[in-house]
Amino acid sequence: MIYRETGQYKTTYEADQQLLPILQDRLFMLIVLFVAFFVVPLTASEYLFRAILVPFLILTLAAIGLNILVGFCGQVSLGTGGFMAVGAYAAYNLVIRVPDLNLLVVFLLAGLAATVVGILFGLPSLRIKGFYLAVATLAAQFFLDWAFARIGWFTNYAPSGSVTAPALTIFGYTFQSPVEKYLLVLGIVVVFTLVARNLTRGAIGRSWMAMRDMDVAAEVIGIRPLYAKVTAFAVSSFFVGLAGALWAFVYLGAWEPLAFDVNRSFQLLFMVIIGGLGSILGSFLGAAFIVILPLVLNQLPGWLGIDMSTALISHIEFMIFGALIVFFLIVEPHGLARLWAIGKEKLRLWPFPH
């Protein structure tokens, strides 16, 4: 009864084309943003920021990037971890070699570095698709892993291969406490979510979706496959690279190449599948789900009073992830985002059935 669009007339094109055409959606979004920017920083505990909120936001950004590629353009990638590593190490090298650069600029340039590498490894997608492409991106993953571990220049010849990020100082202000870091990441994620949302509903996003749904038909109606696929790889890698830089600088602080191994790629792919292929909201839901699930599973035996070793829990976690992937692919291929949409649809009609 509350969620009605009756009486909301659109009298201009701007009103018709805006991001959230329904008043209640706009209000809801404002409330969410208010809570995220003001209520959460004042109330949440330090543990919550460090263990859940910061990783959730950064992985969301990476999941949005991957979703652009897999969900919107239909090109499966198993090399996301490698592209995150490109962003992280590009940022590290920029900071070391150009010390006066503003950190925000560093992050953006790190994203651009990942873009270049992403385009390079995305070029085979012009000739191949499906699991052939998945193997090609797997090649990128293993090659990049090796490059960052073995080529000393990338790590500034650190003997153990592990590098440490400098303090997060932007415009003379140092982001130190978990709350400050959270707000920094939140700001970046909000801005780039908006960018992604607008890209995917614009002409370029439509060309990606056309490529995904049927490439031959898309080509016939005048979409250039080369352009559509390369832009998808470029935009996706930019997001992933940016997320990689944030993951390294804000979340990890000090890291080694193992932080971005093939398991990271799978984790992100799972987020996208569980959250919802081809949905920005789904990236948020999927990331939240996959960040929170292991924490809950770790606590659950304690709550139930069962004694379990951590190794056993991690194996059961594997099983649950695997089963969930299959479950979502069978029952709800559009993931958690679709469940949300169904809920909204039900709410519109409630309390009447039709």
Partner 1 sequence: MNFLQSKWMTVALFAVLGAGAVAPLLVTDTRLPQWIEVVLGGLMSGVLYSLVALGLVLIFKASGVFNFAQGAMVLFAALSLVRIMEKVPFPVALVLTIAIMVAVAWLIERLVLRPLVNQEGIVLFMATLGIAYFLDGLGQTVWGSDIYTLDIGMPKEPKILLENVFEGGILVGMEDVIAAVIAAVLVGVLALFFQKTPTGRALRAVADDHQAAQSIGIPLNRIWVIVWTVSGIVALVAGIIWGSKLGVQFSLQLVALKALPVVILGGFTSVPGAIIGGLIIGLGEKLSEVYLGPLLGGGIENWFAYVLALVFLLFRPEGLFGEKHIDRV
Q: Which is nearer to partner 1, 22 or 316 (CB)?
A: 316
Q: Say whether residue 219 binds partner 1 (CB under 8 A).
A: yes
* Residue with Cβ nearer partner 1 (185 or 269): 269
CB of 150 to partner 1, least distance (A): 4
- How far is residue 264's CA from residue 276's CA, in Å, rounded to a whole number? 18
* Residue 33 contacts partner 1 per CB under 8 A: no
350 contacts partner 1 (rule: CB under 8 A) = no
When asked if residue 289 is in the footprint of partner 1 (CB under 8 A), the reply is no
The residue (of 179 and 325) whose beta carbon lies closer to partner 1 is: 325
Spatial distance between the Cα atoms of 194 and 202, rounded to a whole number of angstroms? 12
**Stretch binding partner 1 (CB under 8 A), from 238-246, 294-302, 321-329, 340-348:** 321-329
Report, in Å, the least distance between residue 274 CB and partner 1. Answer: 10
Regarding 273 and contact with partner 1 (CB under 8 A), the answer is yes
Closest CA to 275 of 324, 318, 313: 324
Measured from the CB of residue 12, what is the shortest distance to partner 1 in angstroms?
A: 39
Nearer to partner 1 by Cβ, of 253 and 322: the residue is 322
17 or 263, CB closer to partner 1? 263
Report the distance separating Cα 33 and Cα 211, nearest Å.
Answer: 33
User: Can residue 158 be called a binding residue for partner 1 (CB under 8 A)?
Assistant: no
- Determine which residue in the list 21, 130, 253, 343 makes contact with partner 1, applying CB under 8 A: 130
The stretch among 36-44, 140-148, 190-198, 345-353 that binds partner 1 (CB under 8 A) is 140-148
Tokens matching residue 293:
């699930």
Interacting residue with partner 1 among 312, 342, 347, 349 (CB under 8 A): 312
221 binds partner 1 (CB under 8 A): no
Give the side-chain half-sphere CA count within 13 A for 265. Answer: 24
Give the x-and-dash track for 322-341 against partner 1 (CB under 8 A).
Answer: xxxxx--xx--x--------
Contact in structure between 29 and 175 (CB atoms under 8 Å):
no
Q: Please choose, out of 41-49, 134-142, 162-170, 230-238, the segment that lies near partner 1 by the rule CB under 8 A.
A: 134-142
- Among the listed ranges 32-40, 88-96, 139-147, 161-169, the one in contact with partner 1 (CB under 8 A) is 139-147
Contacts of 286 (CB under 8 A, 6+ apart): 63, 270, 271, 272, 273, 274, 275, 276, 335, 336
- The residues of the shown chain that bind partner 1, judged by CB under 8 A, are 74, 76, 124, 126-132, 134-136, 138-139, 142-143, 145-146, 149-151, 215-216, 219, 225, 262, 266, 269, 273, 311-312, 315-326, 329-330, 333
